[in-house]
Structures are given as C-alpha cells and as structure tokens.
Amino acid sequence: MRRGLLAGLLLAVFASPVMAGTLLKVSASQRQAMGIRTAAVKAAGHVPVDGLPATVRAPLHESAVVTAPYAGITVAVLAREGAQVERGQPLARIQSREAMRLGADLASAQGDYRVARAQAERDRQLLAEGIIPSSRAQAADARRDAAAARLQELNAARAMAPKAAGAAPGTYELRSPLAGRVIERSLRLGEPVAALDKAFMVAEPGRGMLEMQVPARYASRLRPGLPVRTADGASGMLSEIGAAIDRASQTVLVRASVKGEMLLPGQQTSATIQLPPPAHAWTLASDAVADFDGRKIVFVDRGTGFEAVPVAVQAQTGAGRSVVTGALAADSRVVIAGAGALKAMLVAGE
C-alpha cells in the first residue's frame, strides 16, 4: 500500500521537469509518504582526516639511548626491559680492558697535574724574586695547563664510564640519563659489547612519536601544532611535516608528539588529524550527501519543498559524519532520510 502511494506521488511530481538547484515542491503528506527526515547542519570547527595508519616510535625529546663507551663483557644486567628507572640508576655493569687502563691513566694524570701545578707555583715565586727568567715560568705554566687539560679529558671519560663500587677492577656502570621506562635492552649477560654499541633505550612513560602517511591532497594544509588523536585515546600535536611526496604512495610523512598511557614503540594504530576548516564548511550526516550528475548535492529544506544544493566533500569519518563546503547557512536543515525519492525527482526532471 505504502509503496503504491509513493509511486503515485513520484509520478505526480514528475509531471513537470525539475533541474538541480530548483525547488522540489513536496507537501507535508508527501514528506510523510516518502519517509523524509531532516537534520540541522553545524559550522565545522575542523576537517577530520581519519583512519590514517600510524606507527608509534620512541619520543624524540623524552627518550635517550644509552651506549657502552668502552668495549668489554657484560657482567651484570641491573634493569629489565619494561622496568621503571630513576635518573642516574645503574642499568648494567661492563668489565673492560680500556676501563682498567682509564683508571691507571687517571691516577697518573692526577699525579702529573699536582707536580706541574706545584712547579708552576714555585717558578712564579722565583720569577717574582728575580731568580729565573720569565720564559721558564711561562714554560711551567704551559706544562701545568697541559696536565690540567689531560686530567679534565680523563675525568670526562670516567664520567661516561663511572666505576662500579665494590666490583672487580675495570668494571664500569651504565646509568640511566633520565627517569623513565626501559623500552629496549640490547645487552645480554656474559656477551661481549663493542664500543659505542647501543645498550638501552629509556623513555618517559606515556609519551611517544607517531608516524603517519597523509594523502598528498592534504599536504598544503598541514601545519605543526594541528591536533592529532589515535584510535586508542592518545592525543597530541603535529610536530614534523615531510618536505617531499612519496612517488609510489602519493603520501607525505608526518610525525606527531603524543601522550597516552598505553603507547609502546612499534605499535600499529590509526589516527585522526584535525585540519583547519575552509570557508563555508559545514558538518552533517554522511547520509545527507547524494550523487547527482557527477556532483555531490544535499537537499535543503525550504519549507514548501527541497532545494538541491551542490557541495564539495572535504572529509568523511567512520562515525557517519561528513564535512562539506557549499552555499548552506547556520539554520539550514538537510535531508538525511528519503533523499533517494528526491533524487529520483531530479533525474526525472532532466
């Protein structure tokens, strides 16, 4: 019964030609028969680009790599992967021939500096008394300065490989440079480690860097500071925008600094970037957008009927919402159900 009534109504309306952009007059009873429902549009606060594949990396500024300054053998692992550590906390102990030589060299350099300093002080006193020429005092000062530079160099080396208290000679400690979580451990107990090998990676908890590939059509609108949110609730801002388009995928690489409780390096997720809206941008139900004659249109309620208004879709989300640009207004109501019947009226009026 309802289907027959709807067909009769469409035939009645099709009696006069109707083109896109004109008013399709529909009475209240016809609206009901066609199942037409409308909803208000809202000014778009942003254009969501969602469903972007994203990979979590270690945060750029809130993480640190701990390296072994000298080659040796790992004799103790003091922090496990995933453990929370404090700044300066020992992570591992490495026994090294170079570290053993460092201790001897440091003791020798301390003695050399004390002797050179004392000699320089004596020569300055003798110079003041007129007993020696100034060139001799200057030479003593130069030897003192050279000894001081050597001692400073070795002290800096010792700071990189602090001696492990109570351990065998030549054993030094690797210590955490910041408070955080051990997200990677490369050392294995009893195995050799080469100089400058990566031993640990430590990062502040709840922070990460997100890498995403964004379609090239959005590249000109990307800016550092734009809001980003992941499917698992982490949020942050864009921090880096790639300067080139990948030829194969036609995407641009972007990175974002994000915060979230469950962020783990290597994790795969999806993300949404909120772009600034263009002029005359509106958010509405995706069901309101129809295809007609190669264009996107929405049917705007004009009281006595509906007008087909061309729009350009800027974004469409998985939640059934779209952002469009077009000649709409803040008080516009668009058809979200029954658009098929109105579209048929347009087709019949071509």
Question: Per-residue confidence at 131, pLDDT binned at 50, 70, 90?
Answer: confident
Q: Which residues pair with 64 in a beta bridge?
A: 202
Instruction: Tell me what pLDDT residue 20 has.
Output: 47
pTM confidence score: 0.70
Annotation: CATH topology of 97-160: Helix Hairpins (1.10.287)
- Domain residue ranges of the chain, discontinuous segments joined by +: 2-45+278-349, 50-61+205-275, 63-90+174-203, 97-160
Instruction: Tell me what pLDDT residue 1 has.
Output: 44
Instruction: State phi, psi for 98 to the nearest 5 degrees.
Output: -65, -40
User: What proportion of the chain, given as a percentage, has pLDDT over 70?
Assistant: 93
Instruction: Tell me what pLDDT residue 60 has.
Output: 87
The greatest distance separating any two alpha carbons of the chain, rounded to the nearest whole angstrom, comes to: 127
Instruction: Tell me what pLDDT residue 163 has.
Output: 87
Is the pLDDT at 16 greater than 70? The verdict is no
Question: Per-residue confidence at 12, pLDDT binned at 50, 70, 90?
Answer: very low
Is the pLDDT at 13 greater than 60? The verdict is no
Annotation: CATH topology of 63-90+174-203: OB fold (Dihydrolipoamide Acetyltransferase, E2P) (2.40.50)
One-letter amino acid of 185: R
> Average pLDDT, whole number, for the chain?
88
* Mean pLDDT (whole number) for 174-203: 95
How many helices and strands (H and E) does the chain possess? 5, 23
Report d(CA 202, CA 184) in Å as an integer: 7
Report d(CA 278, CA 313) in Å as an integer: 11
* Mean pLDDT (whole number) for 54-67: 93
Dihedral sign (CA 167, 172, 176, 181): negative
One-letter amino acid of 250: Q
Residue 335 CA: distances (Å) to CA of 44, 260, 264: 18, 39, 44
Tokens representing 289?
A: 């957008």
Q: What DSSP designation does 14 have? A: T
Tokens representing 242?
A: 């790639």
What is the distance in angstroms between the CA of the first residue and the CA of the last residue of the chain?
Answer: 28
Other CB atoms within a 10 A radius of the CB of residue 328 amount to 20
Question: Per-residue confidence at 349, pLDDT binned at 50, 70, 90?
Answer: low
User: What proportion of the chain, given as a percentage, has pLDDT over 90?
Assistant: 65
Report d(CA 320, CA 322) in Å as an integer: 7
The answer to whether the CB of 240 falls within 8 A of the CB of 189 is no
Is the pLDDT at 41 greater than 80? The verdict is yes
Spatial CB neighbours of 225, under 8 Å, sequence gap ≥ 6:
237, 238
With residue 258 as reference, give the H or E element that holds it.
Answer: strand 251-259
* Residues of the chain by 3-state class (helix, strand, coil), percent to 5: 30, 40, 35
* Mean pLDDT (whole number) for 198-207: 93
Burial of 58 from C-beta contacts in 10 A (0-12 / 13-18 / 19+): buried
Is the pLDDT at 257 greater than 90? The verdict is yes
| Residue where the block lists tokens 């020429």 | 133
Is the pLDDT at 54 greater than 60? The verdict is yes
155-180 per-position pLDDT tens digit: 888 888 888 888 888 899 999 999 99
Is the pLDDT at 255 greater than 70? The verdict is yes
Q: Give the angle subtended at the CA of 224 by the CAs of 267 and 243, to the nearest 5°.
A: 85
Instruction: Tell me what pLDDT residue 262 has.
Output: 79
Instruction: Tell me what pLDDT residue 317 has.
Output: 83
* Mean pLDDT (whole number) for 24-53: 91
Task: Dump the DSSP string for 62-101.
Answer: SEEEEE-SS-EEEEEE---TT-EE-TT-EEEEEE-HHHHH
Is the pLDDT at 282 greater than 90? The verdict is yes
- What CATH number matches the domain at 50-61+205-275, 3.40.640.10, 3.40.50.2300, 1.10.10.10, 2.40.30.170? 2.40.30.170
Q: Is the pLDDT higher at 341 or at 213?
A: 213
90-105 per-position pLDDT tens digit: 999 999 998 888 888 8
Instruction: Tell me what pLDDT residue 21 has.
Output: 56
Instruction: Tell me what pLDDT residue 179 has.
Output: 95
Is the pLDDT at 9 greater than 80? The verdict is no
Report d(CA 31, CA 339) in Å as an integer: 11
CATH number of the structural domain 2-45+278-349? 2.40.420.20
Q: What radius of gyration do the chain's Cα atoms show?
A: 36
Task: Dump the DSSP string for 244-282.
Answer: S--TTT-EEEEEEEEE-TT--TT-EEEEEEEEPP-TTEE
Instruction: Tell me what pLDDT residue 14 has.
Output: 38
304-335 per-position pLDDT tens digit: 899 999 999 998 887 889 999 999 999 999 99
